[in-house]
A and B are shown apart, each in its own frame.
Chain A
């Protein structure tokens, strides 16, 4: 044995870019976030070689999680090939040497902006959601200081009032993406700007969800098998986006979240937002052997936790 066997060769950058102190801090904050579901844990948030607000929060979490044995999937709007997703995936792979995949079932870590995949995630998988604004109370108060006090007091009256006003004025809940949820009956949480279609997927999920806002320096978590309920009334219910009558133009699939493709004549066609899932459906139709996982919503639009979505 000689000295070179015992030492590691010098590198320009630490493994997975972040230095060991930054990773240690992140891992400690992540553990705290898991211990207090839905609670926003402040963290120092290092600058990364991509612009702030472009997924640096999710990226820091992913970089602190991955090891050589991991396989990472990165999506933006459900699409693995979206330019920023491609860039983030390239960076993680370049800095950590992990394998990359488009297949939800093959990934150990999935970093995502604005979507939860359609195939049901399983135990051991980690979903990392990029978060632009971690604060569900932002519209009630732009001040982080006041919002923190409101969370501490579980003072969410203004959120309920806001929902009530929507009903009075418009007869409907008017919230789009980032629909607020109550986690473990304690903290109101922004699920990040995932469509409402994806909110129920966080409820009693087998996987771990980590949400991280690099610019705002907050991270929070939904541990596996945790209650995540959308804010709704006993008699007026939260509704997911209607996918009624929408068919994927490539595979004919229905009852999944669809991207609306606008045409010059004012009409629209539709395409599956989850392109990894779409790829597999295409392959299956062309006779290739491919494992398509069970999906959160079945072919009739029924959610897999029966009765969770009320109508």
Chain B
């Protein structure tokens, strides 16, 4: 078999070798350390990589030296090779093991405000002690009573009070396998709700924040209130294909946010959820979800704009593609430019010849 290979291939192989040498060795200990010590980073890579696999996400972070766009791409590319074997059972709010849930809409809510693990009310001070000695976190205080298994949904309270439209009754829930899947179908606009929520769940955190923040700051039409933010563990439940018995494959960290907006005669709900614990992303995402329903939303807050431009792999990939050679297209443009310049030059010369000679002073008389 004839294999075409010359300078280009050697160069790219050397470049990769240099990169890997500078990044240093990989080891199971490094990957485990990243998974244990950087859970929020691992969460972010899993969400944007659209694959819940903490060990693989930690490996991706290690292998790319922490270049998150590259790490996300690694997970996405790996995901393309994995077959889809089954669909998990749908979950409701009540099925989640909630560790944190707060509402800004009420001082207190049924089940209580549960702060859970958060830095929200902490002083953001660098712990420089840790530069010179080991610092052990204090053990958390035990709760006086065990947390309830599930929490009452604040949105349900709104529904009970006739403030929010009731959820559609009598409709059979869509079978998981029938749900539109943004990884298997091309997206078209207006997007099915499933595509929208899936896209937001996979979206790049910074992109969602930038567009969401623009909406919050004043380019949006809405001023919503956070109805509920939840951090939870979700059981991934499957039904056994033969016995039909439901069983848990394991738990995934998830986060979800609802925002409500007062529409004068009713409340309106925006929602976003993602794999991992990422409050910034779900709050901005829920606001965008609501904003994207508006008829005359700012152009940067239309569904097409938001979903296309917050795609982590596509946006970062296209951005770096500008490093590729473009000399053929550039040359094609130069040819067009030179034609225009030549034409202008020729016409100017013609004009100089054609125009009558202006005698000094004649201009003033004209």
Instruction: List chain A positions with a Cβ less than 8 A from chain B.
Output: 13-14, 17-19, 22, 42-54, 56, 73, 76-78, 80-87, 89-90, 93, 99-102, 113-115, 132, 143-145, 148, 170-178, 193-197, 215, 217-218, 239, 241-242, 257, 259-260, 273
Contacts and interface: CB of A to CB of B under 8 A. Distances in A.
A33 B180 CA distance: 23
B3 interface: yes
Contacts of B81: 13-14, 17, 19
B343 A170 contact: yes
Contacts of A176: 329, 332-336
Q: What secondary structure prevails in chain B residues at the interface with A?
A: helix
Contacts of A217: 186-187
Interface in B1-44: 1-9, 11-12
B197 interface: no
Given A81-B7, A170-B340, A171-B340, A195 B332 contact: yes
A87 B183 CA distance: 25
Majority-rule SS of A interface residues? loop
B20 to A, nearest CB: 15
Interface of B: 1-9, 11-12, 73-74, 76-77, 79-81, 83, 183-189, 304, 308, 313-314, 316-321, 324-329, 331-337, 339-340, 343-344, 347
A93 B12 CA distance: 16
Nearest to A240: B335
Nearest to A49: B77
B317 A53 contact: yes
Contact of A173 (B313, B316, B336): B336
7 contacts: A42-B186, A49-B74, A51-B313, A52-B73, A52-B317, A99-B2, A113-B324
Contacts of B334: 176, 260
Nearest to A178: B329
A177 B77 contact: no
Given A86-B11, A132-B318, 10 more contacts: A17-B81, A45-B186, A51-B316, A51-B317, A51-B320, A52-B314, A84-B324, A99-B3, A114-B326, A260-B334
Contact of A81 (B8, B79, B83, B308): B8
Given A93-B3, A143-B304, A144-B189, A115 B328 contact: yes
Identify the 8 closest CB pairs spanning chains A and B, nearest first: A52-B317, A176-B333, A42-B186, A86-B8, A53-B318, A53-B321, A81-B8, A47-B76
Contacts of B316: 51-52
Contacts of B7: 81
B328 A18 contact: no
A28 to B, nearest CB: 13
Question: Which among B11, B188, B331 has the highest number of chain A CB atoms within 10 Å?
Answer: B331
A65 B76 CA distance: 22
A251 to B, nearest CB: 18
Contacts of A47: 73, 76-77, 79-80, 313
A78 to B, nearest CB: 7
A171 B347 contact: yes
A241 B331 contact: yes
Given A52-B314, A193-B329, A241-B332, A80 B80 contact: no
Contacts of B11: 83, 86
Contacts of B188: 42, 145, 148
A12 B324 CA distance: 30
Contacts of A177: 328-329, 332-333
A172 to B, nearest CB: 5
A171 B343 CA distance: 7
Nearest to A169: B340
Nearest to A195: B332
A132 B322 CA distance: 11
B4 A89 contact: yes
Nearest to A98: B1
Contacts of A99: 1-3
B347 A85 contact: no
A255 B55 CA distance: 57
Interface centre among A73, A80, A170, A273 (most CB of B within 10 A): A170
Contacts of B340: 170-172, 174
Given A144-B189, A172-B340, A176-B336, A53 B73 contact: no
Contact of A82 (B3, B320, B321, B325): B325
A86 B6 CA distance: 9
A239 B326 CA distance: 21
A83 B8 contact: yes
Contacts of B321: 51, 53-54, 132
